[in-house]
Amino acid sequence: MVKVGIVGATGYAGAELVRLLMGHSEVQIVWYGSKSYVGQDFASIYMNARGFTGEECKADDLDKMAEECDVIFTATPQGYLGSVLNEDILSRTKIIDLSADFRLTDVSTYEKWYGIEHKSPQLINRAVYGLCELYREKIRGRDLVANPGCYTTCSILTAYPMVAEGLIDPDTLIIDAASGTSGAGRGAKVQNLYCEVNESMKPYGVTNHRHTPEIEQELSLAAGRDIMVNFTPHLAPMNRGILATEYATLNLRNGSYPTMEDVQAAYEKYYGDEFFIRLLPKGQMPETRWVEGSNFVDIGYLIDERTHRLIMVGAIDNLVKGAAGQALQNMNILFGLDEKTGLTGMPVFP
């Protein structure tokens, strides 16, 4: 059995990790870390866990956890892991970090977009970006995984084959994405109160959302050169889900534009054998309700013949494939388990 510890177990992503790990046949949760609820039963905070665990929450102590855990998930705010992680801890356990501390390979970019100093830049090159469908071979055997962000997972996977195959001009890429309110975390914020969110939809982080450089970093690797994108997130009045609608101009090649058959062939090349990526039939577009509670990514696409632009749409559950599910998928890869273990549940509807 893989012994697991969770730092930040009582946040939304941490609690989702608990839910998924409870259905995993090869793991045992030995440490429920929570700064706010030390000494309280986890199931008294999240009552859906009644009958599944009677464990109390413990203080976040990465050094002690490294002695007891084969892997530690850190579902914490940006800056936490960077401030406490060191070589000694990594010599004793594996870390899967759900924050942004090790996602960006350039320290100055991290410090600019997140507004904090990176406390352990020497470890950045040790980390691997944990977007499983693209980098699983790099993930195997590593001890520090930077679990991608929710918006980035959806945005990158939706556009990646088109960028990598040169079917679109990535400099024309525009990404409009909407997220459920759980993406903002469990902390009390006025702008996330029911009356502030219900029956409304709003953009935020316009031109400066922190997931922008992460999207650009990975799509630049696909393009083989530096690119910039327009990314605008929106808050939608729903609990879960991300829907990313992406637009880009098709590249004219040999006097003609790519066809739907070309687009389909590119998606099939990259994702045809991927269990968690579901390519939808021609003309069908994703909806967040069809991925809720699951680790699936639904992708649809259509060419606008009038404007020679490709419209790509992706949908995920922000707490599962966008956070806890992908983290569990990374854990399965790290420990040589079937990648789907604990993640094969059908999406929940209604």
- Kindly list the catalytic residues: 150
Query: Do the Cβ atoms of 143 and 130 come closer than 8 Å?
Result: no
Q: Is 87 exposed, middle or buried (0-12, 13-18, 19+ CB in 10 A)?
A: exposed
The partner residues of 313 in beta bridges, in order of sequence, read: 245, 300
Choose among 100, 228, 234: nearest CA to 169.
Answer: 228
Residues 6+ apart with CB under 8 A from 41: 54, 55, 56, 57
What is the side-by-side strand order in the sheet with 174-179?
202-203, 230-235, 174-179, 242-249, 309-316, 297-304, 277-279
Query: Do the Cβ atoms of 159 and 312 come closer than 8 Å?
Result: yes
